[in-house]
Amino acid sequence: MVTVSGGCQTLSMSTAPVSVPPPRRRILVVDDDPTVAEVVAGYLDRAGFAVDRAADGPTAVARAAAARPDLVVLDLMLPGMDGLEVCRVIREDGPLPVVMLTARGDEDDRILGLEVGADDYVTKPFSPRELVLRVESVLRRAGAAPPPGPWLRSGTLALDPAARRALRDGEELPLTIREFDLLAFFLRHPGRVLGREELMRRVWGWEFGDLSTVTVHVRRLREKIEDDPARPRLISTVWGVGYRFDPEASGDADGHVGEPAGGGGGDE
């Protein structure tokens, strides 16, 4: 830029603001097969993620603790410590999205993975592109801006969507990302029968998938909010149709929103 002052020309530089790219999301890939790990890491890197790798359970736990990743892609079968135990341990320090890798057709392994808190799973052999899409979907869900509004309440349950806090009788509920979203959806639709297909669409954002994913998450949620999970009263099963959240069973006949007192077809 040229400016004139007292008959003299003065050169001055105008500097445009420098745009700093956001930091790359960090993914920890845990697989003892070096070929699988290399392919997965390569696809994630090209998708814009920063990737770290571990080939066994103890190393995965150490790296997750040293540099908390944004998400872990975790193989079920690992030397030293299996993927289920790794998932339990790394979740002790707080919520951490996990996508589990399991063998095709091994439904028990998939269910176990979901029961220990995995947010999603991909069966081997898999398309690396599909895995990247699943990773992006889970991260979007984990980082999505919560809908504005007050606390969601029903009886002794209270959820703060903005802070993603869940309370029962005033005590913090340790919910995974999906469990929180699922409970919030139930609280927003009290008394309504919700099919597993609808829950998968509305809570998971999937148009299709293994409906046992929903079943497992409902079971885990019952274990955390029901007095007797074997005889659930809050989330009841409507046989052949789906599930219904019963506000009357929680001591709240209407179901409502507001500040919590004192502060801040299914097959089961």
When divided into structural domains, the chain yields a total of 2
1 pLDDT more than 60:
no
| Maximum average pLDDT range among 116-120, 182-186, 203-207, 246-250 | 182-186
Which range of residues forms the domain containing residue 87? 26-143
CATH number of domain containing 243 = 1.10.10.10
The pLDDT, as a whole number, for residue 258 is 39
Structure tokens at 77: 């079968």
54 and 88 together in one domain = yes
In angstroms, rounded to a whole number, what is the distance separating the alpha carbons of residues 159 and 154?
A: 9
In angstroms, rounded to a whole number, what is the distance separating the alpha carbons of residues 94 and 175?
A: 10
137 and 37 together in one domain = yes
**Does 80 reside within a domain?**
yes
209 and 120 together in one domain = no
Q: What is the pLDDT of residues 162-210, one digit of tens each?
A: 778 899 988 888 888 888 889 999 999 999 999 999 998 888 777 666 7
Domain closes at, from 143, 174, 189: 143
**Does 1 reside within a domain?**
no
34 and 138 together in one domain = yes
**Does 117 reside within a domain?**
yes
Beta strand 256-257 pairing with 242-245:
unpaired
109 pLDDT more than 80:
no
Residues 6+ apart with CB under 8 A from 163: none
89 and 130 together in one domain = yes
State percent of the chain over pLDDT 70.
78
**Does 13 reside within a domain?**
no
- The stretch 75-101 carries a mean pLDDT of 87
143 pLDDT more than 90:
no
The pLDDT, as a whole number, for residue 92 is 79
- The stretch 97-102 carries a mean pLDDT of 88
The pLDDT, as a whole number, for residue 11 is 47
| Maximum average pLDDT range among 6-15, 32-41, 113-122 | 32-41
The pLDDT, as a whole number, for residue 243 is 96
The pLDDT, as a whole number, for residue 226 is 92
- Select the more confidently predicted residue: 112 or 231: 231
> Which of the residue ranges 8-17, 79-88, 252-261 would you say has the lowest mean pLDDT?
252-261
133 CA to centre of own chain? 14
Chain position carrying tokens 């998938």: 209
73 and 56 together in one domain = yes
CATH number of domain containing 88 = 3.40.50.2300
103 pLDDT more than 80:
no
The pLDDT, as a whole number, for residue 257 is 40
42 and 116 together in one domain = yes
91 and 62 together in one domain = yes
In angstroms, rounded to a whole number, what is the distance separating the alpha carbons of residues 155 and 168?
A: 9
Domain closes at, from 143, 176, 197: 143
**Does 10 reside within a domain?**
no
**Does 120 reside within a domain?**
yes
219 pLDDT more than 50:
yes
Domain closes at, from 143, 161, 191: 143
120 and 167 together in one domain = no
142 pLDDT more than 80:
no
| Helix H or strand E segment including 171 | strand 171-172
- The stretch 50-64 carries a mean pLDDT of 95
110 and 215 together in one domain = no
* Per-residue pLDDT band at 91 (split at 50, 70, 90): confident
**Does 268 reside within a domain?**
no
**Does 7 reside within a domain?**
no
The pLDDT, as a whole number, for residue 112 is 73
